Structures are given as C-alpha cells and as structure tokens.
Amino acid sequence: MPVIARTEYPTAQTPLPSAAGDGPKTGFWALTLGSVGVVYGDIGTSPLYALKESLHAAAGGGHAPTREMVFGVVSLILWALILIVTLKYVLLVMRADNDGEGGTPSLVALAQRALGHSGGFVIVLGMVGVSLFFGDAIITPAMSVLSAVEGLKLVTPATDPYVLPISLAILIGLFAVQSYGTARVATFFGPLTAFWFIVMALGGLSHLVDDPSILGALNPAYGISFILSHGTAGLLALGAVFLAVTGAEALYADMGHFGRTPIRAAWFGLVLPALALNYLGQGAMLLAHPERAENPFFLLYPSWALLPMVLLATVATVIASQAVITGTFSITQ
C-alpha cells in the first residue's frame, strides 16, 4: 500500500463507528469526540498566538495595548468566529456536500455539475482554494508549535536559547513519523483535544472577574470602530485576527469522515464556547494588566500550572499539526 494512503484521515483501515452523523447514538458521540481531535485541532491552538499577534500589530510593536485596542481586537476575533466559522462553514457551506463529502474538490465537482461542462475556470478556482489550504498547512505547524514551546520562557527565562531548537526538533519528528500514519494515535486525539478545550475555557473563565466589562466586546460595534479609527494599524490587526480562524475549512473538508451533525454538535457544544471564554478571559486580564500582552495565553494560568500547560499546549499543537499535514497528504493524493 502506498505510504500516502496510510497518512490520510481515518480510512477503511481505521473505521469510524458510523459513516454519517445520523447513525446510532453510540456512533454519534464517538464521531463527535473524534471530530474534536481531527477537525478542531488546528483552530483550537489559535488562542496561543491570535490575540497576542493581533494586539502586537495594532500597537505597532512594543507598546502596551490600550483599552480601546483590547476591546476592538477581542470583538473582531469573536465575530470572525461567528461570521466565518459559525455562519459560513457550520450553517451554510456544510449544506453543500457532494454525496456526503466536503472540501474544495467537492465544491469543484458540484460547480461543474451545475455548469454542465468541465468548467476550466472552476478548476482554476479549485486549485487556488487548495493552494490556500496548503499555505495554512505550512503556517500552522510552525507557528503553533513555536508558540507552545515559547511558554517555557515563562517557566524560567534560562530556557530562552532552547525554544527554537526544541521547536525544530518537534517539527522534524512530526514530519518524520508521517509515513506511519495517524491511525495508531487517532484514538487519543479526541479526548486529549477535548481536555485542551476544557482547560482553555477554565483559564479564560477564571479571569473574567478581572474586568467583566470585556463582555461588551460581544458588540460588533467595538470591532468596526477599531478598524475605522486606526487606519493602517487597524488593517494590520484585522489581518492578524484571521489567525483565530485558521483551520476552519477542516469542518467542511472532513465532513465525509465524521458527518455533518457530529461536527456541528462539537462546535456548538464545546469548541465555540471554549474559544470565546478563552479570548474573553485574555481580554479581561489585559484590561487589568496590560503588561501581560507579551504572552497573554499562558499568563492566564498560575505559576505552578505553567509547565503542565506548556506540555499540554505542545501536545495539542502536535495533534493539530499532524491533522493538517495528513489532510494535505490526502488532498495531494
């Protein structure tokens, strides 16, 4: 069997409990948990860096973020999750399946069928869409693993020189094991990633009391006002905000593996609430302590929990990276 075939998402070698989201109850929950690990691993690691990089772009460097910046960027991130992921992918795009399958190739097939001919222009658009996914697959492993390992600097500054070598070692190892496939470890993806989301939610929830007014960021007017009043810095921040939704296309691409209903249940029941609570918690903490903007995610947690969180974040980023890498192998094949 070719190596690439063994590096795809769950296949006939590793059958899922059900091939669709409307199967038996036991199969449904198994599929829902599995989708948390494979489908949402990428977007689940975005809180490690999305808010930090967005505020860095908004502040133009080393300046501490202002209250207006925090409200604006948090609002933009929350509404990116609502509009791009929830409205676009979860509620709309996932309705456009090709015999139960999703992803850019399925969209191309549907478009060709609707046009009634080969549709060369549609194929070009499909190639552009796939290339954008490849770009995400390049960015995700590097940025997420490095962001996770950077937490070691908060445990002890003495580890600073070792952050890059450790990150490189993890990434090299990650690519080296691709030929063995994900089937042997896929069973652990769902539970570990679900635990990651729960820990993220608790970290954000514990800091909402720092400044509960951050809940006002749910009003999209803060995000719109921030973009209109900050010129180039606002546009740069908006570009960085899209880091919060990297991996969203996996909802559609993996629909054939897990089914529409389990993926939607995982999003509304766990993933979206956990992400929203974490970003709101980071924002509330920064309103009270702007000096923590250097690494707001890890500073949500007490000092005794930093090392366990770094280790958990590293595991989560490895899972997310392997998911997006194997997805790239599948599309390439």
Summarised one tens digit per residue, pLDDT across range 176-232 is 877 665 555 556 778 899 999 999 999 999 999 999 999 999 999 999 999 988 888
Helices (H), the chain: 25-38, 41-44, 50-59, 67-80, 104-115, 120-149, 152-155, 163-176, 183-205, 220-229, 231-241, 250-253, 255-258, 260-266, 272-288, 306-332
Amino acid making up residue 82: I
Domain membership flag for residue 287: yes
Cβ contact 37:236 at 8 Å: no
- Residue 258 within a domain: yes
User: Which pLDDT band holds residue 287 (cuts at 50, 70, 90)?
Assistant: very high
In a domain, 13, yes or no: no
132 in a structural domain: yes
Instruction: Give the number of other Cβ atoms within 10 Å of residue 29's Cβ.
Output: 13
Q: Residue 266 falls within a domain, yes or no?
A: yes
Q: State the burial class of residue 289 (Cβ atoms within 10 Å of its Cβ: 0-12, 13-18, 19+).
A: middle
The residues facing 101 across adjacent strands are 98
- Select from 103, 173, 207 the least CA-distant residue to 318: 173
User: pLDDT tens digits, residue range 77-135?
Assistant: 999 999 999 998 889 888 877 776 667 777 777 777 777 766 677 888 888 888 888 88
pLDDT at residue 288 is higher than 80:
yes
Query: Considering its fold, how many domains does the chain have in total?
Result: 1
Q: Contact, 73 vs 58, CB < 8 A?
A: yes
- Residue 84's pLDDT is 93
CA–CA distance, 71 with 74 (Å, rounded to integer): 5
Is 102 inside a domain boundary?
yes
Q: Is residue 15 part of a domain?
A: no
What pTM, to 2 d.p., does this model score?
Answer: 0.84
Q: Is the dihedral of CA 94, 96, 100, 104 positive or negative?
A: negative
Provide the residue range defining the domain that includes 54: 4-8+20-332
Residue 14 lies in a domain: no
Nearest partner of 78 among 204, 230, 264, judged by Cα: 204
